Amino acid sequence: MKVTVKNHTMMYPAPAVVASAYDDEGKADACTLAFAAMCSHHPPAVMIAINSTLKRKTLADILKTGEFCLAFPSADQAAEVDYLGIESGYDEDKLAKISYNHKRAEKVNAPVIEQFKVSLECRVMHVCEVGSHTQITGEIINIQADEDVVDGRGKIIFEKLNPLAYDDITHSYYRMGEKIDDAFKLGLKFRK
């Protein structure tokens, strides 16, 4: 039987990713967010949404510079990722607190955080206010990845990245599980 549950934004699964940008003085800021998705194949683009009702220094930086990096953390980095979501860059040098290093991205003016295995370098295409959040669409200009998570064809190996997932309803981090099957094949049986 279906029941009605209280209205709350939800997505299953949702990622826990880290956006990073430079402030006016060239200091690197970073914040964790779960409101993120792919949104175009051509050009490759991602959408992120950051709470604009809270003090979010990384959001202010992205809107000023028009560029940002988006990193995909691994499950074993959950504590560091959680800290980057709790603390404000206005109060602390968060990356220094977790002893994470960064350097300028190759193609955009934003910091790549070295300890994260995969980072997208993005340029803002579109900004839209949606309720409590600022929704930013970014074109993916360049992608950097640790050599050990990339296969011989230049593709990210899901199991080696071992991405971190987040549940916004119970405020919990999750690991990913095993592969079920190949897409665009599994459903063909219903064509018969």
Instruction: Find tokens 């940008």 and name the residue.
Output: 21
Residue 160: its H or E element? helix 158-161
Q: Which stretch binds a second copy (CB under 8 A): 19-27, 58-66, 72-80?
A: 72-80
Among 24, 26, 152, 191, binds a second copy (CB under 8 A): 191
Residue 112 engages a second copy in binding (rule: CB under 8 A): yes
Instruction: Find tokens 């094949």 and name the residue.
Output: 185
Among 18, 62, 80, 110, binds a second copy (CB under 8 A): 80
**Is the CB of 24 or the CB of 48 nearer to a second copy?**
48
**Is the CB of 23 or the CB of 98 nearer to a second copy?**
98
Q: How far apart are CA 49 and CA 51, in angstroms?
A: 7
Minimum distance from residue 21 beta carbon to a second copy (Å): 19
Among 10, 64, 90, 101, binds a second copy (CB under 8 A): 10
Strand partners, 21: 29
Residue 9 engages a second copy in binding (rule: CB under 8 A): yes
**Binding to a second copy (CB under 8 A): which residues in 113-172?**
114, 118, 120, 125-126, 128, 130-133, 135, 137, 139-147, 150, 154-156, 158, 161, 163-172
**Is the CB of 60 or the CB of 95 nearer to a second copy?**
95
Residue 111 engages a second copy in binding (rule: CB under 8 A): no
Instruction: Find tokens 């404000």 and name the residue.
Output: 88
What is the dihedral sign for C-alpha 39, 155, 75, 107? Answer: negative
Minimum distance from residue 55 beta carbon to a second copy (Å): 16
Among 55, 64, 79, 90, binds a second copy (CB under 8 A): 79
Cβ atoms within 10 Å of 187's Cβ, excluding its own? 9
Total residues at the site for a second copy (CB under 8 A)?
Answer: 106
Q: Which of 37, 45, 66 is nearest to 127 (CA)?
A: 66
CA torsion, points 69, 157, 33, 77, in degrees to nearest 10? -100
Strand partners, 103: 112
Strands 28-33 and 67-72: unpaired
